[in-house]
Chains A and B, each alone.
Chain A
Amino acid sequence: MMRLAVRTLRFRKGGFVATFVAVVFGTAIVMACGGLMETGIRSNVNPERLAGAPIVVTGKQSHLRPGAEDATALPERVGVPTELVAKIRSVEGVSAAIGDLTFPASMVRAKGLTVAEGHNWSSAALAPYHLASGRAPTAGQVVTTAPGTGVGDRVTFVIDGSPETFTVSGIARGPAGHAFFSDRQAAQLAGNPARFADVGVLVAPGTDVDAVKDRIKALDGGITVQTGIDRGLAEHPGTESQRIALISIAGSFGGIAAMTMMFVVASTLALSAQHREREFALLRGIGTTPGQVRRMILGESLLVSIPAVLVGVVPGVFLGRFLFDELGSHGVASPVIEFSQGMIPFAAGAGAAVLAAIGAALIAARKSAKIRPVEALMEASLQRKWFGWVRLLFGLLFLGGGLALLIVTAAVMTGPLAGATAGPSVLCWAIGVALLGPFWTKAVLAIWRWPVQLLTRVNGRLAIRNVTARSVAMSAAVMPVMLAVGISTANLYMQTTQVHAASEAFTRDLRADSVLVSEAGMSPALVDQVRAVPGVASASAFVRSTGVIDEPRNAPFDEDGAPLLGVDAQGKDGTAPVRLTGGSLAGLTGSTVALPEYVAGKMQRGVGSEITMTLGDGASVTLRVVATFAAERGYESIILPAELVAAHTTDGLTKQILVRSTPGADARPGLAKLAAAHPGVQVADRDTLVAANAEDLQTQAWVNYMLVGMLIAYTAVSVVNTLVSTTLRRRREFALQRLTGSTRAQVLRMLTTESTLVTLTGVTLGTLVALACLLPFSATVSTSAIPTGPLWIFGAIIGAAALLTFASTLVPATAALRHSPTQHTHTD
């Protein structure tokens, strides 16, 4: 049978082109996603500053809430307590243990502020840095890596918001962006001198590094010990949460791509099998058993897909790297991580493609193998019976799944979480509709018949009769259109609705008119100075982080943690983005907290009670509740004093000060003057704040656009293939039409009407599927059930669908009509 399959393929190359293309793209996409996933799982960052130390000890960047199953990733650097260094030094095999103090130190240059890290000089041995000129620093001196500075120069650093001047005592050769101060001075400058950012451990040559590593690990449960390539992660503590994001994006994108590939390959194979019905009937007639027919179809499918997989590997490699670079430049993936794509993504892509091909072939072969020889040889057979109990069962199952997800989205999910169930629900609905395609197609056609019939006359009538009688074939053309329109509309509008809702939530509660920002940080003294500026009604520092509520245990936040907002104590007219419902923020100092009303109610902790939290860097604090406020469900944050939050971030800096002007006054000139006096401080107004927030949200939207784009390109292959091959098959029918009196133009007009009907039906079904997903999503995420977003997106989708449909039908038809109608006697 393989020989027969080979000969058939050689003869019928054209019929398998669509399958080939679909498998090539599918393999490439799944491979690329596999590479992204592998990159996320490995998270290889080359150590630079710590390369000289074979073992690096850091704090554990995750916190397990008591009673929870999964740990929460901590976004701020946890660090290693200084007392532990002596213990590490005494571990057998360790020759030296050097603590590394890290703090933000921005250098003031002629062109502005360069953000850099300051360290204690003894940690320079870890890279190791070599002095190119000069000596080690003493008090008041600094060793820099920056080009353009010379020994003896006076440079100004902004540390913790205040500028200080140092003399350069030496220049070091090594990774740029770091400055070294004397050990004692570094301890004074660092925000938290009791904790080292990390500890580099040196061992005597020849020692078993892994054994030493295990001994150090046994010292304390709160530390992480890294060797080899993992040491790089110690230099970039924020990578943990980005890593999880990368893995989940790659996983979901790859999964959807694999499923879509199976759908497309199944439909292209089924279509080509349908068109070869007579051939299969002949084969059965001259003595091919059903099993042999099945093996032949399977053989053909493998012969097409295996070369396609090999071809698809090439773009897969490039696509993976391209996607990673794009994600990195948009801030979704951490750009310091190395991209790796080994054998596993290749195997995953190839495996998925081959499985899709086999599964599709078996499905297509089921019908073909059972053909009765005589049935197919009869001329008058109009269309196959499409209905089967298995198909009905699966169709109902998928529709039921979509309905279940709809209910969950509407009733259970809150806020941004709704996307997790709304996204898959589109696929469930789409597959459910596709499996029962002819039924839905006939139903929708019944509606669209009348307006179309009114507008067109003879050609319209013939077109409508054609599509009604051939509803199975028409459904095969409508389904890919429905899939493309449904998925793209749902995804794009989910995105715009989400962005709009988040932006609304932000804007509604934003009560600042201006904001001062500085990457280098601002001191508390500056906040007081801002309050003194004429026209300013109130000012507050503004810091963000993430934390975990440990006590009570029923806090309604999941393993991603609770967003924290740090603001200063303020009265009712303050700048804090909250609408108070109880208590007052005037007492927000020291160890106090303000909770969203819903959270306070759930935990049964009102004003005056206490809760225990773990802050972003792992520190545990007991806080007294001083106020409750109203917040959008799904967008709740916890409010703490700004100094408390800032003290427990990696940088320990206040990077934003929110300012509210008195009504009618303009504080901006005064603020601008104040900002000019402090290097690195800039003033931005309310609109800039809103725009900056929107831009952050847009970054995440970008990932979605990428996904939608690829899926549409993919289903477009299916649309084109179905329509082109169906149209070409109908050559004899067109010839007959012309012989009975139609002109070429009339045949084309009839086809135009048919295409209009296909487009209308596909768009209608696709929009219904999308609405089934969008309405509950929108009701949950924002205040109204109507999704928000520009209408031109929908217009573009419909336009693209129409263009594809018309082009795929009319172009081959025009080519087929070029010949004289009497030329068609026996065809195949």
Chain B
Amino acid sequence: MRRAQEAAAGSEYSVVLQDVRRVYGRGGNAVTALNGISMSFARGTFTAVMGPSGSGKSTFLHCAAGLDRPTSGSVSIDGQPLAGLSERRLTELRRDRIGFVFQSFNLLPALTVWQNVCLPQELDGRRPNRAAVRAVLDRVGLGDRHKRRPGELSGGQQQRVAIARALVARPAVIFADEPTGALDTQTAADVLELLREPVRTQGQTVVMVTHDPVAASYADQVVFLADGVLAGSLIAPTAEEVADRMTHLGARSTLRAVAR
């Protein structure tokens, strides 16, 4: 499936979710991770999805990115609904339109940095543009380490390689699952800049799941999840505003500020 550089005509939303529900297990053991979420992510925006543990953030991201099939509801990427696609077509669509950065274990240990970054394009049967790859690696600051294997890199460096891989294919949307979870503050700041920059300069859409209010403050808008449903949003918040809202989410809404 050859990639069309232009997005499907007319849609200004990269990702659209409609009444998505995801239930695990059956009968008495059933766990409802997502309980009817409807959301749209506009093109060229940087959104942070936040919520306490168990709110369904990772599940939400997996469903939105086509890595998991929702129990009911629909997901569309660039106007293309994911529902009726076979496993193979879905995979090709993902390869083409979506970049994903996992929280850990992002890279194939058998391949070098360069080979890891080029992998999605190779899978598609395309020859990667060497100049573009080099440019991306330089941008993430690993241009001189492209022959190393993941085992020789630190956690932060691995994360940066994963972002490079997501960026180089110029996908319609990049999903990132807790990308700064295991990083020190300086590296975290670098990584977040790397994610924000293409949004400004190239109209990239980025959706990031995080539990860190500081990371969320880099985003254009922050969406809150609690107990599987949407629980509000903030536009261009500061870290303090985010932290404050987090304290009052869901069942916590009865908490009062505690005087120190």
Contact = CB atoms under 8 A, between A and B. Distances in A.
B95 A287 contact: yes
A377 interface: yes
B105 A7 contact: no
Interface in A268-323: 278-279, 282-292
A539 B15 CA distance: 105
Given A7-B115, A374-B62, A288 B106 contact: no
Contacts of B68: 372-374
Interface in B101-145: 102, 104-111, 115, 119-120, 122-124
A7 B147 CA distance: 13
Interface in A1-29: 3-4, 7-8, 10-12
A284 B124 CA distance: 13
Contacts of B62: 374
Contact of B95 (A4, A10, A286): A286
Nearest to A1: B123
A11 B110 contact: yes
B188 to A, nearest CB: 18
B106 A282 contact: yes
Contact of A288 (B110, B123, B165): B123
B104 A826 contact: yes
The dominant DSSP class at the A interface is helix
B100 interface: yes
A216 to B, nearest CB: 69
A828 interface: yes
Given A285-B100, A290-B88, A377-B102, A7 B119 contact: no
A828 B67 contact: no
B87 interface: yes
A282 B110 contact: no
A286 B174 CA distance: 12
A283 B120 CA distance: 9
B91 interface: yes
B110 A10 contact: yes
B105 A278 contact: yes
A285 B67 CA distance: 7
A360 B172 CA distance: 39
Given A287-B124, A289-B87, A828 B94 contact: no
A488 to B, nearest CB: 39
A283 B67 contact: no
Contact of B120 (A10, A286, A291, A828): A286
Question: Which among A8, A12, A284, A289 has the highest number of chain B CB atoms within 10 Å?
Answer: A289
Given A282-B105, A826-B104, A287 B111 contact: no
Given A7-B115, A10-B110, A287-B91, A292 B123 contact: yes
Contacts of B115: 7
A11 B124 contact: no
B92 interface: yes
Contacts of A372: 67-68
Contacts of A373: 67-68
B105 A289 contact: no
A12 B110 contact: yes
A80 to B, nearest CB: 72
Nearest to A287: B95
A755 to B, nearest CB: 30
A302 B87 CA distance: 26
A8 B96 CA distance: 24
Interface in A693-719: none
A828 B151 CA distance: 9
A287 B120 CA distance: 6
Interface string A42-55: 00000000000000
B110 A826 contact: no
Interface residues of A, number: 27
Interface in B55-112: 62, 67-68, 87-88, 91-92, 94-96, 100, 102, 104-111
Contact of A287 (B92, B102, B149): B92
Interface in A90-137: none
B109 A828 contact: yes
B91 A289 contact: yes
A42 to B, nearest CB: 48
Contacts of A288: 91, 123
A11 B149 CA distance: 10
A301 to B, nearest CB: 16
Interface string A170-199: 000000000000000000000000000000
A826 B105 contact: yes
A164 to B, nearest CB: 84
Nearest to B89: A289
Contacts of A4: 111, 119, 122
B67 A287 contact: no
Nearest to B109: A828
Contact of A282 (B91, B94, B108, B155): B108
A7 B94 contact: no
Nearest to A8: B110
A11 B108 CA distance: 11
Contact of A283 (B88, B96, B108, B155): B108
Given A278-B105, A282-B105, A374-B67, A289 B111 contact: no
A9 to B, nearest CB: 8
Interface in A323-371: 370
B76 to A, nearest CB: 18
A289 B92 contact: yes
Question: Which among B105, B122, B165 has the highest number of chain A CB atoms within 10 Å?
Answer: B105
Contacts of A11: 109-110, 149
Contacts of A828: 105, 109
A290 B108 CA distance: 17
A284 B67 CA distance: 9
A279 B108 contact: yes
Nearest to B95: A287
Contacts of A374: 62, 67-68
Contact of A377 (B95, B105, B107): B105
A441 to B, nearest CB: 25
A285 B110 CA distance: 17
B191 to A, nearest CB: 18
Contacts of A279: 108-109
Nearest to B93: A287
A370 B67 CA distance: 13
Contacts of B109: 11, 279, 828
Contacts of B92: 287, 289
B91 A284 contact: yes
Given A282-B107, A374-B67, 12 more contacts: A3-B122, A282-B105, A285-B102, A286-B165, A287-B94, A287-B123, A287-B124, A289-B88, A290-B88, A374-B68, A377-B102, A826-B104
17 contacts: A4-B122, A279-B109, A282-B106, A282-B108, A283-B108, A285-B102, A287-B92, A288-B91, A288-B123, A289-B87, A289-B92, A291-B88, A370-B87, A372-B67, A374-B62, A377-B102, A377-B105
Closest 4 CB pairs of A and B: A287-B95, A11-B110, A289-B91, A8-B110
